[in-house]
Amino acid sequence: MKGIIPVWAELRNRRTKELPQYELETRPLAKLHPACIQGRDRVPTCDDCGSHGFFLPPERWLLGESIPKDFDLFGVKETTRIVVSERFVDTVNRLGPSDMVYREISVE
């Protein structure tokens, strides 16, 4: 797989022997296609931090030119969504049962 960046998760528990745990870094690299974000989905700019955003529309697709070619796992800018490649899904499925849920997303 390409572009997988493991980051050590500093978690503490009551066990005497802690096994190292890792999170996968998901850099926000891709963008939603502008046509799927309508004016009604926009939220007002935050007076405190200046952030401006939108409600995630029910039907969404990615801007094709923003999708990184060398990553099997990445985030979508201005959202908390994570996108994975088919190769990532196949690898996780080969490892055994998982509680991960995947949904296909279109690209335009």
Q: What is the DSSP string of 74-86?
A: EEETTS--EEE-H
Measured on CA atoms in the order 40, 105, 78, 67, is the torsion positive or negative? negative
Separation of alpha carbons 46 and 38, rounded Å: 19
pLDDT band (50, 70, 90) for residue 74: very high
Predicted confidence (pLDDT) per residue in 3-62, tens digit: 888 888 877 777 667 777 888 999 999 999 988 877 656 777 778 876 767 777 778 899
Q: What is the CA radius of gyration of the chain?
A: 17
Please say whether the beta carbons of 29 and 68 come within 8 A: yes
Predicted confidence (pLDDT) per residue in 81-99, tens digit: 899 999 999 999 999 988 8
User: In this predicted structure, what is the pLDDT of residue 88?
Assistant: 93
Q: How far is CA 94 from CA 29, 44, 55, in A?
A: 27, 44, 35
User: In this predicted structure, what is the pLDDT of residue 89?
Assistant: 94
* Element counts in the chain: helices (H) and strands (E): 1, 9
CA angle 25, 3, 18 (to 5 degrees): 45
Q: What is the pTM of this model?
A: 0.75
User: In this predicted structure, what is the pLDDT of residue 49?
Assistant: 74
